């Protein structure tokens, strides 16, 4: 192969295999969060909504100062269980939601959600806020919007000894698919407009 600068590419010696690069798993599980962060940034720039990721409350216990200009946190603990991932305001309504990603193709495991998050979502709904889940089936490349009120019966059923997941087909039926776009990756405001405004 010849490169555009005129130099010839080297072909591997016969019998030698090219070294395989190791897959990079450093950002695995972060793609939905990154897409939503990019979406929220676009909403803010377009003055459509003000929605941010909530910081996780952390108590720093031990810090090392190897230099004056650098500090290294050596020990820290979560102060309390966090509630949901995102909150903000859209068209005068409080918005609060959790983003979850699963590799499961047939169902959404309820183990991805915690009791304190359910309690928080119920309080938000009781006070007139809009609360929901954004669920990505990463293996299928599909992202869904599921209203919190539709999540609660599955949670109660599981607590009563029932199934510990929501079947994929029920999320397809009861949720709303969010098509990925270029500028606004996960345009969930489009679903909110159809449901609430």
Number of domains in the chain: 1
Q: With a cut of 50, say whether residue 197 has pLDDT above it.
A: yes
What was the pLDDT predicted at 25?
Answer: 36
* Domain assignment present for 169: yes
SS3 20: coil
* Domain assignment present for 112: yes
Tokens of 73: 């946190």
The mean per-residue pLDDT over the stretch 80-98 comes to 91
| Residue stretches of the annotated binding site | 83, 85, 98, 117
SS3 80: coil
| Residue stretches of the annotated binding site for Mg(2+) | 83, 85, 98, 117
* Domain assignment present for 1: no
The enclosing domain of 87 has a CATH number of 3.40.1350.10
The mean per-residue pLDDT over the stretch 179-192 comes to 93
pTM for the complete prediction? Answer: 0.75
* Domain assignment present for 74: no
* Domain assignment present for 5: no
What pLDDT, in 10s, does the model give residues 95-145?
Answer: 999 999 999 999 999 999 999 999 999 999 999 999 999 999 999 999 999
* Domain assignment present for 9: no
What pLDDT, in 10s, does the model give residues 6-58?
Answer: 555 554 444 544 444 443 333 444 489 999 999 999 999 999 999 999 876 56
* Positions of E strands within 91-162: 93-102, 107-109, 130-137, 142-147
* Residue range of the domain that includes 155: 31-55+81-196
């Amino acid at each position: 192969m010849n490169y555009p600068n005129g130099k010839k590419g080297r072909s591997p010696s016969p019998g030698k295999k090219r070294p395989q690069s190791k897959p990079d798993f450093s950002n695995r599980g972060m793609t939905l969060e990154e897409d939503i962060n990019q979406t929220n940034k676009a909403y803010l720039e377009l003055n459509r909504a003000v929605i941010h990721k909530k910081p996780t409350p952390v108590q720093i216990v031990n810090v090392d100062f190897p230099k004056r200009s650098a500090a290294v946190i050596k020990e820290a603990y979560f102060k309390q269980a966090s509630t949901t991932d995102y909150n903000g305001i859209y068209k005068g309504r409080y918005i609060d939601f959790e983003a979850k990603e699963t590799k499961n193709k047939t169902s959404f495991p309820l183990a991805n959600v915690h009791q304190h998050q359910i309690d928080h979502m119920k309080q938000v709904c009781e006070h007139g806020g809009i609360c929901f889940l954004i669920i990505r089936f990463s293996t299928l490349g599909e992202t869904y919007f599921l209203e919190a009120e539709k999540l609660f019966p599955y949670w109660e059923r599981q607590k009563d000894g029932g199934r510990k997941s929501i079947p994929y087909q029920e999320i397809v039926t009861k949720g709303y698919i969010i098509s990925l776009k270029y500028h606004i990756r996960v345009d969930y405001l489009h679903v909110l407009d159809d449901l609430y405004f």
